[in-house]
Structure 1
Amino acid sequence: MITIDKFYIDGQWVTPRSATTMPILTPATNAQIGVLTLGNGADVDRAVAAARVAFDSYGMTSKAERLALLRRLAEVTRERLDDLARAITMEMGAPATMSRDVQADAGLGHLLAFIEALEELEEEETLSNGDLLSREPIGVCGLITPWNWPVNQIALKVIPALATGATCVLKPSEHTPLSAQIYAEMIDQAGFPAGVFNLVHGDGPTVGAALSRHPDVAMMSFTGSTRAGSAVSRDAADTVKRVTLELGGKSPNLIFADCDLETRIREGVAGCFYNTGQSCDAPTRMLVERSVYDRALQIARQAAEAQEVGDPAEEGDHIGPLFDGIQYERVQKMIRKGIDGGARLLAGGPGRPGDLPPHLQSGWFVRPTIFCDVTPEMAIWREEIFGPVLVITPFDTEEEAIALANDTDYGLAAYVQTGDEIRARRVARRLRAGGIHVNGRDAGYGSPFGGFKQSGNGREGGRAGLEDYLEMKVCPPFAN
């Protein structure tokens, strides 16, 4: 049984002020694998105080000093990738191959991209009018990360804070504390000064709210649901701190008849199901040109039926369980809404897969599911399901496809599949989303990630991710 009863504050592993605990569960079997102590407001105060003191010196470090620390962190990250991967598989159910090659590896990929961005960043420059512009760290940052991509999101928030000279307090999801604990060990091993990075475990209403309201926190960066993001913004409002948000999505995937239909449909289905559908930018709405609609449905059904679901501890390209029982019930409810709402069930449906081995039958596994003939008034079209559930609808014209794609409160990502480069660029220009994926190609590490509308504000990754943690100061030229 794993026991996490220490927080990382001011360079030390300390006993929390709170004695409240919760079980750590593994979604593959719903068995308890550990116990986590949850923090409270006093723990937050202690961590913020350490970060505030550390900022006085760390905020004045040179870029060269910070780059040296980040390069050392990269060495440590390489050494701990397998540890991170095992933790992610245990705590949130990502299959072993994906945990190692994608989930854990993101911690290194983002770090290397931030190092490159920091190398290129001009922290001081002379403007055309002769004034001096300085880019300086914002101060103490409160960082709240989710369970679905735990290391990916920790890296996207912690690294730019450390890179710019800011200090931080991390509140990871209380449901994925194992990988966060390892990340704190990595920061310590890399030699960052005491108080620069602090870790407090806890829930959103207690620790998250205390961070968001704290007068000594200059910035909040949050990734999670739109509802929780709104709460962070409200809590931060009284102290007028900067808030960056990476929230939900209901991303469209536009399939034009001139694309490589077989390849792009199969990629689209796999992309929706990837990480068991628990990705905010997953292509969950497939819009297909009517002339190839019937063929697309055949390909999609075959892809869904071929999608394996299995033990996350095993290597392979299968998908694992949903994260927990609450998420399982939500996905089941949405599948039932789809059926009751009149959508045609093309593949999958309610319940668990029928071929699970006995030791996994208490886990939160679901059937990969596809609905077709979905219309915009249906709940499964409008609401983020966060499971391996794809909805498909036809369109007749490019104008209709764009209108349907933009018919959402979200705007995190959009996908375009076409053999016509001019059309790809024309359609991409009109899609209201922060990231456009074309013909199976995704953006790389270092590109800005974030969304329009209720998908949030601010950008993570690379140069844009650094800028969110910087303030700008202008001074005129010196004169006697």
Structure 2
Amino acid sequence: MTTTSPTGVTHELGVTGPLVDGTWLDKTSVGAVDHVNPATARVNGSVLLCGPQEVDAAVASAKAAHPEWRAMSPDRRRRVLQRVEELMLARVPELGRLMTLELGAPVMVSSALAHLCAGWFGYYAGWADKIEGATIPPSPVMVPGLDYTVPEPYGVVGIILTWNGPIMSVGMKIAPALAAGNCVVVKSPDLAPFTVAGFAEIALEAGLPPGVLHILPGGPEAGEHLVRHPDVDMISFTGGIPTAKKILDSARHTLKPVLLELGGKTASVVFPDADVDAAVAETVRSCFNLSGQGCNLTTRLLVHRDVYERVVQAAAAAAAAVGVGDPFAPTTALGPVVTAAARDRILGVIEKAVDSSRLVAGGHAVDPATLPAPLRDGYFVEPTVLADVAPDSEIAQHEVFGPVLSVIPFATEEQAVELANSTPYGLGAVVYTRDVARVQRVVPQLQAGTVHVNGASGQPPGAPFGGYKHSGHGREGGKEGLYEFLQTKNVFIRA
């Protein structure tokens, strides 16, 4: 595996493939595909894709391994997960480089996400020996005896990861599933399998028994077979709404539970008494993180008319100042989008939106002449700000999944809430105001799984994350995220 200096020519990832029963396979039933570095548009690795045959083998191994993993004393599971955290923290730079090479994510971002992933393993390691049930008090009409509950793992959990920063989902899904005593079969994304493979190597080194964790890079056929498999007891999925509907349709054949973390159209709501400079800086930073390819990024900026033009100009200036280019450069904040098709789709969305809004920053592919020579064929889109966006327009209602910020005015508090809630999504919202009473009025009205006030939290491991409406159901992170991977058994012992 070779990495380079910020302006180097060679970016190599080598070959990655499936991990089944503790062994990395060197061939699959589907075969290999090239992996393209989005920063250079050059092949930088090869991915061995999986199909139903590999899924069947992995599920069989996980099912066989589950009784021993479930029966392992919780303190031993805790120590294994703690060791995963320790090794991940020691290898954050290595994991960050993998993510930068496969996704073009700026190294400052990819390293931070790897660090977050390690934090979830440490957090859920602490829960492994603290999973408790409850004693049910007897009632006057109850037959005398002892009534209590026992939380139990599902068994084999299928985990389907999305390509945009899958290392976060590794921490939010795999860590609690393992802490709860489940075995997991992971379908990693074909666009971004290398970081997940790097994590799996760490997990094996940490002492995770063979059969407890399986990694299967693959496409839709592998994912559908995993969901339909009768020996998979639960599915956890992160991705888009169309795929989620297909997963739910496939899951109905076995009636298995499905946890869904889907898209978002998060709004920053700026009231006239807010710290406007801080609100703009935080919103722009979030919107252009991972080149706008994230579900909970603040892609809408709702601004009171009293400060609207000031915010529009500040957002345009902030976007123009975003460092764009080589993702290995420490000053780069915005790298490429994931594929040429994604770039072209994003530019098409912007072009359509310009007909009914005001373009104040960006709006085009990055001029290749401004990039180092090895990057001139990469998939770069300028950080873009559109003002006067119609609230019911396509760009305001649906995910762009690119570096595009839509600015929308409002006149009253009631209108601000209405606009914030006006999309099909309900993943997040941010409110900027110094008025505590307004916070207490507005926050309960926002249809969002996470609401931040005057700035984002950075997603600590103990905080639950998930959405309302079309943003999915279930929670990841925190105690709630652990209990998603447990089912409750009630036990009654007659006196």
Classify the TM-score, shorter chain.
Answer: over 0.9
Shift of 1:13: 2.0
The within-5 A match list for 1:130-279 is 130-203=146-219, 205-279=220-294
Rounded to whole Å, the distance in 2 between the matches of 1:116 and 1:227 is 36
On the 8 A contact 1:117/1:462 being kept in 2, the answer is: no
> What SS does structure 2 have at the residue aligned with 1:464?
helix
CA shift for structure 1 position 269: 1.5
**Where does 1:347-366 land on structure 2 (aligned, <5 Å)?**
347-353=361-367, 355-366=370-381
Does 2:79 correspond to 1:46?
no
Check the 8 A contact 1:121/1:463 in 2, yes or no. Answer: no
Aligned AA for 2:149? L
Task: Supply the RMSD in Å over aligned alpha carbons.
Answer: 1.4
Structure 2 Cα separation of the partners of residues 240 and 221 of structure 1: 14
- Structure 1 counterpart of 2:383, one-letter code: P
User: Which of 110, 117, 125 is residue 120 of structure 2 equivalent to?
Assistant: 110
Distance 1:347 1:207, change over 3 A: same
1:430 aligns with 2:439: no
CA distance in 2, matches of 1:58, 1:115: 14
Over 6 Å off, 4+ runs: none
Instruction: Give the stretch that moved more between structures: 437-446 or 427-436.
Output: 437-446
2:306 counterpart letter in structure 1: S
Contact 2:16 2:193 in 1 (8 A): no
Q: Does 1:21 find its partner at 2:32?
A: yes
| Most deviating of 84-93 and 316-325 | 316-325
Alpha-carbon distance between aligned partners in 2 of 1:265 and 1:315, rounded to the nearest angstrom? 22
Distance in structure 2 (CA, Å) of the matches to 1:6 and 1:32: 16
- Which is further off, 68-77 or 464-473? 68-77
Deviation by residue 1:415-473 (Cα, 9 ceiling, x = unmatched): 10001122113211110000001101324221110100111111001211111110100
Aligned partner letter, 2:70: G
Residue by residue over 1:10-52, the C-alpha shift from the partner in whole angstroms, topping out at 9 and shown as x without a partner, is: 1222344414221111111011011111111010000000000
Structure 1 gap segments, 5+ residues each? none
Note if contact 2:324-2:332 (Cα within 8 Å) is conserved in structure 1. Answer: no
Please report how far the alpha carbon of residue 310 of structure 1 lies from its aligned counterpart in structure 2 after TM superposition. Answer: 1.2
Match for residue 44 of structure 2 among 22, 33, 37: 33
Structure 2: tracts of 5 or more residues without a match = 1-11, 139-145
Question: C-alpha distance in 2, partners of 1:20/1:468?
Answer: 35
Looking at structure 2, the residues matched to 265 and 17 of structure 1 have their Cα atoms a distance apart, in angstroms, of 49
How far, CA to CA, are the matches of 2:230 and 2:471 in structure 1? Answer: 26
User: What CA distance in whole angstroms lies between the structure 2 residues aligned with 1:140 and 1:156?
Assistant: 17
Counterpart of 2:393 in structure 1 is 378
Query: What percentage of residue pairs aligned between the two structures are identical?
Result: 39
| Distance in structure 2 (CA, Å) of the matches to 1:291 and 1:283 | 21
Q: Which amino acid in structure 2 is aligned with residue 81 of structure 1?
A: V
The match for 2:135 among 126, 137, 152 is 126
CA distance in 2, matches of 1:4, 1:89: 16
Secondary structure at 1:231 match in 2: helix
Total equivalences in the alignment: 475
